[in-house]
A = this chain, B = another copy of it.
Amino acid sequence: MKIDPKKPADLSVQIAQSIRDAIISGRLIVDERLPSEAELSDQFQVSRPTVREALKRLAAQSLIRTQRGATGGAFVNRLSYQDAYSQQITTSTLLLSMNAVSFETACEARYSLERACATLSAERRTADHLATMRAEIFRQAQPGLTDEAFCASDVTFHRALVDGAGNPVLSYQLAGAVEAMQPLMNMITFTARSREEIIVLHNQIADALDRRDAAAVDSALVDLEAYTRKLALDVAKQRRKPTE
């Protein structure tokens, strides 16, 4: 492993890139220990702080983990679905909040993807997935639930629907779309009336999944999307005329 000492970017960027390439290409395999920081600074002919900055960059992406002590060091990390989920969620959330993505755009993306899962979920969902969904519907019907708690339950419900497809890659992709919507959803005030409507639709979805009726799931999701967009539109209207 060597780097170009003069040409383009900062040294720590180059070193991070070099190690990243080694991991992606498979020259460094999972759980393999990297040379110690002292050895790396020798190899790359840079100081230890520079090596450390490079390692911190990789750690921030969950590509390595570090451990102190005699047998410690930096190890190539197996990127778990959990790690990937949370990175995906952070990125998606920031992307939406920093780029002023409209509610309509985010909502459309989310429900399009979710409907893609629904067909598979109707086929493969287990009793467990259904039980989770029923439990969340029950929770959503509780009086005195805060809007945040209602939203959180909504996310759990939809994740169960997605997980029912039995495809972890799909679940990972959807995690971002569903969870990144949450800050936007939290701006909605859910009245008792609108909660009722949503629960009706949730029940339709659960019932349809129960009898493995993909078309009915899809149709209920379309209705749910339409209703969600209507709610958001009402909020926007209220904001424009706050006195009325």
Q: Which of B24, B96, B97, B99 contacts A93 (CB 8 A)?
A: B24
For A26, give the chain B residue with the smallest CB separation: B97
Q: Which of B24, B87, B119 contacts A87 (CB 8 A)?
A: B87
Contact A94 B60 (CB under 8 A): no
Contact B109 A170 (CB under 8 A): yes
Q: Check A72 for interface membership: any CB of B closer than 8 A.
A: no
Q: Check A57 for interface membership: any CB of B closer than 8 A.
A: yes
The proximity string for A residues 78-92 relative to B, scoring 1 for CB distances below 8 Å and 0 otherwise, is 111100100110111
Q: Which of B91, B105, B116 contacts A116 (CB 8 A)?
A: B116
Q: Check A120 for interface membership: any CB of B closer than 8 A.
A: yes
Q: Which residues of B are found within 8 Å of A167, using beta-carbon distances? A: 105, 108-109, 112
For A30, give the chain B residue with the smallest CB separation: B98
Contact A112 B116 (CB under 8 A): yes
Residues of A52-74 whose CB lies within 8 A of B: 52-54, 56-61, 63
Shortest C-beta distance, A141 to chain B (Å), equals 30
Which stretch of A171-179, A202-210, A223-231, A234-242 is in the interface? A171-179
Q: Given known contacts A60-B16, A78-B98, is B177 in contact with A169 (CB within 8 Å)?
A: yes
Q: Which residues of B are found within 8 Å of A98, using beta-carbon distances? A: 30, 78-79
Q: Check A12 for interface membership: any CB of B closer than 8 A.
A: yes
**Protomer copies:** 2
Q: Which residues of B are found within 8 Å of A105, using beta-carbon distances? A: 167-169
Q: Check A101 for interface membership: any CB of B closer than 8 A.
A: yes
Q: Check A115 for interface membership: any CB of B closer than 8 A.
A: yes
Q: Which of B24, B26, B52, B168 contacts A101 (CB 8 A)?
A: B168
Chain B CB within 10 Å, residue with most, of A16, A52, A172: A172
A98 to B80, CA, bound (A): 8
Q: Which residues of B are found within 8 Å of A5, using beta-carbon distances? A: none
Chain B CB within 10 Å, residue with most, of A12, A52, A58, A109: A109
Q: Which residues of B are found within 8 Å of A54, using beta-carbon distances? A: 56
Q: Which of B49, B87, B99, B112 contacts A120 (CB 8 A)?
A: B112
10 more A-B residue pairs beyond the given contacts A16-B60, A78-B99, A112-B116, with a C-beta to C-beta distance below 8 A = A49-B49, A53-B53, A60-B61, A95-B169, A105-B168, A108-B120, A112-B117, A112-B120, A113-B116, A113-B170
